[in-house]
Chain A
Amino acid sequence: MIEVPTEAPTQVNVIEMRGIVKTFPGVVANDHVDFSLAKGEIHALLGENGAGKSTLMNVLYGLYRPESGETRVNGTPVMFGSPRDAIALKIGMIHQHFMLVQAMTVTENVILGLQTLGVLIDEKTAETRIRELAERYGLKVDPKNFIWQLSVGEQQRVEILKALYREANVLILDEPTAVLTPPETRDLFSILRKMRSEGRSIVYISHKLEEVMDISDNITVLRAGKVVANVKKSETNKAELARLMVGREVIFRLSKAQAKIGEPVLEVENLSTLNDRKMLALRNVSFTVREGEILGIAGVSGNGQRELAEVLVGLRRATSGRMLIGGRDVTAATPKEIVDMNVGFIPEDRVGVGLVMGLPILNNVIMKNYRDISKGPLLDYSMASDYAGKLIKEFDIKTPNMRYPTKTLSGGNLQKLILARELARGPRLLIAAQPTRGLDVGATEYIRSAVLEQRSLGRAILLISEDLDEILSLSDRIAVMYEGEIVGIVPAEGANIEEIGLMMAGSKRLERTS
């Protein structure tokens, strides 16, 4: 980083970005964007997926170099060569996809890359400080745990700890609540408020209107790479923000037809399994999903939902109990056998389980039926690209070219890609885990309607979601998970939200029904 002496600053803004332009092949991600952040404010960056919010902040954090534009920190023009320069100026960032080393402990991740480390690493002291910070901000996490053992929510706390450990004065959070449960979100907000009261500035990237209205002082709205508005929270409202964000009025209601319930497709009986820490993650879970119905699994993240989905698709072995698909015992089936039984799977971890990011979009679209697009051992690439082209169009996946690496897609388009791949095969059972997490209003609406359409086509759907609104509006029956158990199954119609909330919190359980 090279600093250049300049005239005295005329404003007190911590961050001042002007005319930022950043392009990717075929896309202008930031088109002359101006952004300023004052000391001690929470500034929301609002916009749909692919609007350029993350790009702008990655520029600020030194991950991307803009084609043009200027960034000033405390009035001094800076040019970041890497995040190291940004961190040196006390800017911290928490990405949507965490930047943690899975094979290292929490402590090791927090101190990783610190300049002040000597040759010998004093982990004890670091650990003590991490515990102090965690205590002070209420970030529940054990410094001795390995990252791979942590839930997504816990991993985020490690990221926050990392920034706090580096005494960040500016903290950028990219869709932080996408991975959090409502109580965790409340905790996060109180942490953020505490940081603000200490004079730190926070950039809050989100597309969730409620949260933005709740937490922020100022709001900058981005649409298609451009700033469309910069407003004070006190001078706006949700409806106006929604209109600014999507450029049209949004319909929040989904119409749902009467369920036509048929034969049982997925039957789960007393299923148990262990998590990565070899602890019981699933305890005697039983339920049935029938043709034409959506069974919603509600619950706070980390109560066994991930393990349940993994067992059902064969990625994790059951320790006891059994499961049947279409009457056939698949308890010991491999993932391939499950795929061959025409089970669609939308994984919670899209990047880690659902996609191969380094390969072309084309490859990912055909990843589940490439075996059928073939002449003998040869893969028919021209047929494959016809097929993929059709799906890309049908599911409105925004990309200039299907031969580009999948990692060039934005979050919403990644999920549409998975959806396209899974639904195109007409699955008889669809397992959808957090299908709309982290997606913007438009994509969420699209995916929910697609799931409902599958239901009306008579397919069995298991919907695992932390979003209670989603569960309530899509499901026919709702099963609530708490600490690896199903504590109750209730019909969605006339469901008592209070009751479900109590079950999610573990303070109420129903007699087992199924």
Chain B
Amino acid sequence: MLSILLALVISAIPISQGGVNPIEGYYELFRGALGDKLSLTETFAMFSPLLLCGVAVALAFTCKFWNIGAEGQLYCGGLVAAFFAVNAGGLPSFVAIPLMLVAGFLGGAVWAAIPAFLKVRLKVDDVVTTLLGNWVMYYLVSAILYGPWRNPKTGWPESPIIAESTFYPILIPGSRFHFGIVVSLLVAVAFYIILKKTKWGFELLAIGGNPRSSLAMGISVSKQIILAAIVSGGIAGLAGVGQVAGIHYHMKTDLSPGFGYTGVVIAMVGGLNPIGVVLASFLMAVVVQGTQAMHRATGVPWALAEVIQGTILLCLLIGIFFTKYQVRRIKA
């Protein structure tokens, strides 16, 4: 709590530099994120992909698969899901949406399985492969959308509109509070159950704690890491599905403003703990949504809004550090 306060105080500097009274700025920030129905539903629409990416990363990190590639897996999941959804014309929603979810999951899963396989078989560093995978996927998506799949009607670099039956149902009329938010909460609950209740979660924790001991005690370490990567990538893929089917209704080159990377931050801030990840995602959504609102309402430059986001995050991380490690002044 103190660190949030500290964050607000420090962030007041860039806000006032932007020629805006900080108090007014913060008022707009919180009003813009939590103030009314519209802003609250928008915050939730932001919360959904952040939560999915946070869970995806946290799950992978639990067994020390350093998946920095949620962004690429999100794009891959979105791409595959969109490809299905564009061509899913005749199917009713209750068939099309589950199939689209599976398609998106598989898309993300494949993109995460490749680096996992390279890691366990050839000992290729997973941080590098997953990170580079993001760029490969991003430019692959761009190439497809600028080339063969360019929207024939508008000429924009985006896919044709997806079949209406694959639109995520809007749960609060007049908003973008879509079905994907439910999906993300279910995934978070599943993550909780996996970690706290299942044999698989037990294995992942053991591998994360000491892979060599885990191997010696009969856990199939390589297999479980690949499985974790598949599930992690699949979950990130679901974030892509949510953006396609809940927000844009196209596959786009700017499907994500970096949800996958923010997922890494969320996983760390949340301490790889399911509940912590939910809280961190929500906080992140409030900050992102709120600073955007502040930018719109007060005219704080957009770049400064991002500075404020960064400042708040940094203060939070420092706050967590201080809570974790008792830092005391040494008395003489």
A370 vs B219: C-alpha distance when bound (angstroms): 11
Q: Is B206 an interface residue (CB 8 A)?
A: yes
Q: Is B148 an interface residue (CB 8 A)?
A: no
Q: How large is the interface on B (under 10, 10 to 19, 20 to 34, 35 or more residues)?
A: 20 to 34
A279 vs B264: C-alpha distance when bound (angstroms): 41
The answer to whether A357 and B209 have CB atoms under 8 Å apart is yes
Given known contacts A2-B332, A336-B219, is B199 in contact with A367 (CB within 8 Å)?
no
Specify which chain A residues have a CB less than 8 angstroms from the CB of B212 in the assembled complex: 315, 352-353
Interface centre among A347, A363, A370 (most CB of B within 10 A): A370
CB proximity to B under 8 Å, residues A50-109:
79, 81
Interface string of B40-57 (1 = CB under 8 A from A): 000000000000000000
Residue in B198, B214, B330, B332 whose CB lies within 8 Å of A377: B198
The answer to whether A367 and B217 have CB atoms under 8 Å apart is yes
Closest to B206 in A: A356
CB proximity to B under 8 Å, residues A414-446:
none
The answer to whether B216 and A359 have CB atoms under 8 Å apart is no
Q: Is B210 an interface residue (CB 8 A)?
A: yes
Given known contacts A357-B209, A359-B206, is B216 in contact with A315 (CB within 8 Å)?
yes
Residue in B199, B210, B218 whose CB lies within 8 Å of A379: B199
Distance (whole angstroms) from the CB of B1 to the closest CB of chain A = 26
Q: Is A386 an interface residue (CB 8 A)?
A: no
CB proximity to B under 8 Å, residues A347-386:
347, 352-359, 363, 367-368, 370-371, 374, 377-379, 381
The secondary-structure label for the interface of chain B is helix
Distance (whole angstroms) from the CB of B62 to the closest CB of chain A = 12
Closest to B194 in A: A377
A59 vs B36: C-alpha distance when bound (angstroms): 56
Given known contacts A315-B215, A315-B216, A356-B214, is B197 in contact with A370 (CB within 8 Å)?
no
Distance (whole angstroms) from the CB of A474 to the closest CB of chain B = 23
Given known contacts A355-B213, A377-B198, A379-B198, is B206 in contact with A339 (CB within 8 Å)?
no
Distance (whole angstroms) from the CB of A201 to the closest CB of chain B = 26
Q: Is A334 an interface residue (CB 8 A)?
A: yes
The answer to whether A370 and B216 have CB atoms under 8 Å apart is no
Given known contacts A81-B330, A355-B213, is B199 in contact with A339 (CB within 8 Å)?
no
Q: Is B17 an interface residue (CB 8 A)?
A: no
The secondary-structure label for the interface of chain A is loop
Specify which chain A residues have a CB less than 8 angstroms from the CB of B209 in the assembled complex: 356-359
A359 vs B203: C-alpha distance when bound (angstroms): 11
The answer to whether A354 and B332 have CB atoms under 8 Å apart is no
A79 vs B332: C-alpha distance when bound (angstroms): 7
Given known contacts A2-B330, A2-B332, A358-B209, is B216 in contact with A378 (CB within 8 Å)?
no
The answer to whether A356 and B213 have CB atoms under 8 Å apart is yes
Interface string of B108-135 (1 = CB under 8 A from A): 0000000000000000000000000000
Closest to B219 in A: A336
Q: Is A313 an interface residue (CB 8 A)?
A: yes
Q: Is B156 an interface residue (CB 8 A)?
A: no
Given known contacts A315-B215, A355-B210, is B205 in contact with A370 (CB within 8 Å)?
no
A339 vs B221: C-alpha distance when bound (angstroms): 14
CB proximity to B under 8 Å, residues A322-358:
334-336, 338-340, 345, 347, 352-358
If A79-B331, A352-B212 are given as contacts, then 14 extra A-B residue pairs at C-beta distance below 8 Å, sorted by A number, are A336-B218, A336-B219, A353-B212, A353-B213, A354-B216, A357-B209, A367-B206, A367-B214, A370-B199, A370-B202, A377-B199, A378-B198, A379-B201, A381-B197
User: Could you list some 29 contacts between A and B, CB below 8 A?
Assistant: A2-B330, A2-B332, A4-B332, A79-B330, A315-B215, A315-B216, A335-B215, A335-B218, A336-B218, A336-B219, A339-B217, A340-B218, A345-B216, A352-B210, A352-B212, A352-B213, A354-B213, A354-B216, A355-B210, A356-B209, A356-B214, A359-B206, A363-B205, A367-B213, A367-B217, A368-B217, A377-B198, A378-B197, A379-B199
